[in-house]
Structure 1
Amino acid sequence: KHNWATDEEVIDYYAIGQSTPGIIAINTATFIGYKLRGTLGGIFATLGMVFPSIVIITIIAIFFEQFQNLQIVQHAFGGIRVVVVALMLNAIINMWKKSIKDYIGIIIFLVSFLVVAFLKLSPVVVVIASFAVGLIIQQNKDDDRK
C-alpha cells in the first residue's frame, strides 16, 4: 500500500519471519522497518506492531473475567474466530497469486504443506529446503537458457 517493500520482498520477509523465533507479522515489520530506516526503523516498526496489541489485550484482560460467560460474548468470539479464518484464507490466496508462478511452485507448495501438516517437520527446515530446491531449479533453468 505504501510501497515500503515490493510484493516479492514481503514474501521473502515472511519466509524469513517464519524461520525465526517470534510472530511472523512482527518479524516482517521489523525487517521492513530496518530496510527503510535502519536499526531505529526496525525498533519502531516492532513497537508499532506490538504496542497496540498490548494495550488492547490489557484492556480486554481487565474486563474479560466479568463478561466471559455472557452468551453475547460467547457468540461474538465464535464470530471472530470465523472471521480470522476468512482473513487468513484471503492472505493465503493473495500470497498464492504472487508466489506460485508455475507447476514447480505448485509442487513445492504441496510438498511443503504436506510435510509440515502431516509429518510435523519444522517450518525452518522446510523453508531452508524449499530455498535450496528453488535455487537449484532456477540455476538449472539459467543453465538451459545458455
Structure 2
Amino acid sequence: MPILIQLYLTFFKIGLFSFGGGYAMIPLMEKEVVRIHGWLTLSQMVDIIAISQMTPGPIAINLATFVGYQAGGFWGSVGATIGVITPSFLIVLLIAKFYSRFREWETMQRVFKGIRPMVVALIGSAGLSIAQSSMVDAKAVIIGVCSFLVLQYAQVSPLFVILGAGLLGVILYR
C-alpha cells in the first residue's frame, strides 16, 4: 500500500478511536507509529511530543503533521493531518445534527459519565508511557519532579516552566 494511503488510514484510525483529545491519542499513536509501522523510534516520539506541546495548535495535529513529514515528506504530512482530523470533523457534524434532540436523554447522560473516566485513564496511560521513556537517569527525574512541583504549587506559566526545564537540561547535561 502506498505510504500516503497508509498514513491517512493510520491517522484516521487514531482520530476515530481516540476520545478525549490529543493527550488521550498518545498511547494509540505510539503503538501505531512506533511499534506497528516503525516510522519513529520511541525516543523520537517523546521528543516530538515535547515539541508538539510547545508549538501552537492541537498536539494531535502537530504529531500527525510531523510523523507524516518524516514518513512521506510534504504530502505525507498533509495526508496524516487530514487523516487525524477527518473523524472529528465527521463526528462533530453528526453530533451537531442530533445533539439538541438527545442531550436530555438519561442514556446520553450516562454515556458521557462513562466516557469521562476512560479519558482520564487514557491521559494517565500516555503520561506513564512518556515518563518511562523520558526518565532515563537521576538528572531527568530531578527536572521532571521540579517541573511538576512548580506547575502544581506555584502560579507560574507553563511556558516559563518549559523554558526553565530546558535551561536546567542545558546546565545538568553539559
Structure 2 stretches of 5 or more lacking a match? 1-34
With the length of structure 1 as denominator, give the TM-score of the two structures.
0.86
Contact 1:18 1:24 in 2 (8 A): yes
**Does 2:123 align with 1:91?**
no
Q: CA deviation at 1:120?
A: 4.6
**2:104 matched residue in structure 1:** 69
- Secondary structure at the aligned position of 1:90 is classed as helix
The alignment's C-alpha RMSD in Å is 1.6
> CA separation in 1, counterparts of 2:104 and 2:58?
29
The count of aligned residue pairs is: 139
**Does 2:76 align with 1:41?**
yes
Correspondent of 1:129 among 146, 156, 164: 164
Structure 1 stretches of 5 or more lacking a match? 140-146
> CA separation in 2, counterparts of 1:53 and 1:36?
23
Kindly name which structure, 1 or 2, has the bigger radius of gyration based on alpha carbons.
1
> CA separation in 2, counterparts of 1:120 and 1:51?
37
Q: CA deviation at 1:8?
A: 0.9
**2:88 matched residue in structure 1:** 53
Deviating beyond 6 angstroms after TM superposition, the runs of 4 or more aligned structure 1 residues are: none
> CA separation in 1, counterparts of 2:84 and 2:123?
18
Higher relative contact order (CA 8 A, sep 6+): 2
Go from structure 1 to structure 2 and tell me whether the alpha carbon gap of 1:74 and 1:15 turns closer, same or farther (over 3 Å shift).
same
Amino acid at match of 1:112: S
Go from structure 1 to structure 2 and tell me whether the alpha carbon gap of 1:49 and 1:124 turns closer, same or farther (over 3 Å shift).
farther
With the length of structure 2 as denominator, give the TM-score of the two structures.
0.73
> CA separation in 2, counterparts of 1:60 and 1:120?
37
